[in-house]
Structure 1
């Protein structure tokens, strides 16, 4: 349990690191797009090798299919509810209000972090490539959002407090993934891993990749490939 908590903390700590950077530094728009692309590539690797593959192994094709569908639909409809609640599109939401932003970050982060605890509970050890992908992808998300909120007039204290709270909750999701699913059946474990994979796939295409391309231009594709390649190599090294 302590291991799940510590590794969850490692993964979510980058939310606070990115928030601090967004408040203190002025990161060029193009550089932020490249960071987003790199993080997206790392997540593609984690989805394939740490989540979907493990889900198929633990729960079989049925658990994989059901989890992918449930996770993808959960993110899709949850994200639509956020947009309706704020009356603003996603690309404008970062400066629209702290409550909607926090919920959006949780929607992205909870399945990622729960999967970290789940990988430990399943007896497969720490998925270091998954932790690395979560860590990398969190930084540009919180960095860009914090920079936008700073420009809209929010204080540094409120911005950092918001992201610290999100970091705490997502860290606890790792602990929950471990505690709740430690004795679960293979089907439930596989379904939960596939749920996280499905949510992340929709999040990547619906939000992260378009924003990366908008900010970074066509070269983002190369940054995404680099993130994917490094994550794949990492998964092989630590396997």
Structure 2
């Protein structure tokens, strides 16, 4: 008899799922590159609003601790603001370096080019990595202890990443950044999300007792990212019914979470 097949290590599974969810960024970049100059701000804003609604649903249905969990009354008051504070602090620093408008499509609010703000290209790249870290943390923890990854988590992050890649790429090209720069960003970041998910699982996978607090920390960071990076693009000079579009994004992710 042959030797039994060894199961795939948990951290590898986490890394692969991180790569899948992060690939939405690359898909959005490909669409933006193919249709550059043909996508109006209102079209991009509508897609961004839908993606924002998706992320709101992921937070509400997958990340926030259930009320009957032990200690649930204490975790949100600490972990949620802590996650938001860490994200906002790093984002504030990167914004001062030129990454503030990294998710803008460029029509209403332009991204800075290198001549206007030296080092902004690197800051935008680092800021884009920052946006993906909470996602990687959630995925890494979701498969900890042999748990099955939630379809809503993967589908939600993937669907929310598409408009982020779409809008940010449009703004990068509007600012005169090269195709090489654009694709280096959006090929590299999904890979980094995968690596971060694997590392997060490897380092934190045994901390099952703290999993709700870790997920709430990530939820706070995702909420802060929504408020500071995604929602401004969706709601500035917004298309008609942008509120409805956002709710439809929420509904789509909510329905996925129910199956």
C-alpha distance in 2 between matches for 1:95 and 1:58: 47
Match of 2:247 in 1: 225
Match of 1:160 in 2: 183
Structure having the larger proportion of residues in helix: 1
Q: Rg: which structure is higher?
A: 2
| 1:220 Cα deviation from its structure 2 partner | 1.2
Q: 1:59 to 1:130 in 2, by over 3 A?
A: farther
Matched, 1:144 2:167: yes
| 1:49 Cα deviation from its structure 2 partner | 1.2
Equivalent residues, number = 236
C-alpha distance in 2 between matches for 1:148 and 1:87: 12
- Residues 178-198 of structure 1 show CA distances to partners (whole Å, capped at 9, x for unaligned) of 211211141x21221011100
SS at match of 2:143: helix
Are 1:38 and 1:228, in contact at CA under 8 Å, matched by a contact in 2? yes
SS at match of 2:148: coil
Match of 1:125 in 2: 148
Q: Which moved more, 1:125-134 or 1:60-69?
A: 60-69
C-alpha distance in 1 between matches for 2:180 and 2:163: 19
| 1:122 Cα deviation from its structure 2 partner | 4.8
Matched, 1:7 2:17: yes
Q: 1:81 to 1:124 in 2, by over 3 A?
A: same
Are 2:81 and 2:220, in contact at CA under 8 Å, matched by a contact in 1? yes
Q: Taking structure 2 as the reference length, what is the TM-score of the superposition?
A: 0.83
C-alpha distance in 1 between matches for 2:217 and 2:18: 18
Matched, 1:114 2:152: no
Are 1:31 and 1:216, in contact at CA under 8 Å, matched by a contact in 2? no
- Residues 122-163 of structure 1 show CA distances to partners (whole Å, capped at 9, x for unaligned) of 554212111111111111112111122222222212210122
- Given candidates 86, 91, 112, the residue that maps to 2:98 is 86
Match of 1:48 in 2: 60
Are 1:71 and 1:197, in contact at CA under 8 Å, matched by a contact in 2? yes
Which runs of 5 or more structure 1 residues have no equivalent in the other structure? none
Matched, 1:210 2:232: yes
